[in-house]
Amino acid sequence: MARQAWNLDDVTVGTSSFPGSRTRFGDPALLLDDIEDFPDVQFVFAHGGRGWWYDTAAFLALSKPNVWLDLAGLPPKKLPEYYSRFGLPRLATKWIFGTDWPGVPGASRNVAALRELGLPADTVRAVLSGNAAKISPGLGV
């Protein structure tokens, strides 16, 4: 209903590490009612939940079909550390690759590092393009 009423495809939320940024509303748990009330709206947690909220974001991504984790700004080599409690291959099915450009140079290095995590090839393809196409079909990827 929200999608039709507001022409809303997805909602991207999250925190920032830039000086002066505010994180008061960065907790993904604050959106639980919305996630459940609007199952047709896709929620993308920027920066994978960042910092205090990696666990909450991962839990919601695994338990709610309309929640995704954007990897922009996260070093792929650190993902096993950030999400160690959640089974990386399973959680990776809910990831969406992002570059965070120009803040993070070397998107190709991050793609290579993502491929080195030992995830199934079909999961890596989904992270790099398939999951984004699922939630925003108009992207044409």
Give me the domain span that covers residue 25.
2-139
Tell me the average pLDDT across 127-138.
90
The pLDDT assigned to 16 comes to: 64
Q: Is the pLDDT of residue 113 over 80?
A: yes
Average pLDDT, the chain: 86
- Enter the pTM of the model: 0.86
What is the count of structural domains for the chain? 1
Beta bridge partners of 96: 70
Looking at residue 122, which CATH number applies to its domain? 3.20.20.140
Nearest 5°: CA angle at 9, between 132 and 131? 15
